[in-house]
Amino acid sequence: MNTVLEVRDLHTRFYTRKGVVHAVDGASFSVDEGQVLGIVGESGAGKSITGFSIIRLIDPPGRIVSGEIHLRDRDNDIVDVMALNRNELRNIRGHLAAMIFQDPQTSLNPVLSIRRQLYETLFYHHPGMTRNQLRQRSLEALKQVGMPAPAERLNAFPHQLSGGMKQRVVIAMALLNNPRLLIADEPTTALDATIQAQILLLMKRLCSDYGSSLILITHDIGVVAQICDHVAVMYGGRIVEYGAKKDVLFHPLHPYTRGLIQCLPKLDESSPRLTQIKGVMPSLLNLPKGCHFRTRCPQAGPDCAVYPKERTVKGRRVSCHRLG
């Protein structure tokens, strides 16, 4: 199986008046063809910045300071994303890798019709397409994402669509040019539970149909359990545990991973209170010395004042002095 994305030792920082924010601090992971990788963690863990960094959507005062990002195109050629200039980046965005943003309301232009926005997405990468070809491909994409009455929706404006419909349009736009990699940043946050499930299953099915890979960025480890194959657990800008879903979720090694899983409500328990991880995520401007999780960890000891080296244990990578 081909590796579609390879990220090695990625560092992304934001240089502010208050100091340097280490938003992504040495992240390394890969995504194979047709695979769904879930990046999970609390708000402020660095998940979204990791996704934005992959296609270099980092604006000043942010900067990718080091690391390697390699994408494999449909011809199996390797593209060094860090070596691309601005025009080359525009050509791979939406074509080789596409982003599905958190809020469909802000992803769509409110004064342009759905037709215009789909056509522009297609025409940028395929300037030779006729108007009839643009229409046919746009209708095909809307049908694939389960849009009701797609011909009518082409003439609609974003404010005339429900939240679930807008998210389907955003997914259709991301899939128009048959990208090799989809990056979905909290794609169901603004939707109700029923629509969330539909959108998640839709994305997994479309990735299978298109032969694309998916990175799902979420704070909900329950969502990861539903559709992901591999999991990267982030905390304080670092990946603290990474491996196959069945290993990470059923046999977690890092205390933070165990804490996230224990926060999930259980149907077979009558306790009125949910388990929670004490404290809050530290600011990326003022991270604790040593292990970033030690101020909240029930197992922390004196040796946690030094950040643990990453180890490979039972088929996964984990950074902790006290495993299991």
**What are the pLDDT digits (tens) for 259-313?**
999 888 776 666 667 778 888 899 998 898 999 999 999 989 999 999 999 999 8
E strand or H helix that includes residue 123:
helix 114-125
User: What residues form DSSP beta bridges with 241?
Assistant: 233, 318
CA distance 226 to 38: 10
For residue 212, what pLDDT band results from cuts at 50, 70 and 90? confident
CB atoms within 10 A of CB 110: 9
In this predicted structure, which of 84-88, 197-201, 231-235, 253-257 has the lowest mean pLDDT?
197-201
**HSE of 178 in the Cβ direction (CA atoms, 13 Å)?**
8
Alpha helices by DSSP H, 145-215: 150-154, 163-175, 193-210
**Percent of the chain having pLDDT more than 90?**
65
Q: What is the pTM of this model?
A: 0.92
Residues 150-196 have pLDDT tens digits of 999 999 999 999 988 998 899 999 989 889 999 999 887 767 777 78
Give, in degrees to the nearest 5, the angle at Cα 173 between 191 and 144: 80
Both tokens of residue 296? 């909240």
Distance of CA 88 to the CA centre of its chain: 22
pLDDT value of position 193: 77
Average pLDDT, the chain: 90
E strand or H helix that includes residue 224:
helix 221-227
CA distance 19 to 4: 35
- Is there a cis peptide before residue 252, judged by omega within 30 degrees of 0? no
Over residues 44-63, the mean pLDDT reads 95
In the chain, the domains with their CATH numbers are: 3-96+181-194+211-318 (3.40.50.300)
pLDDT value of position 267: 67
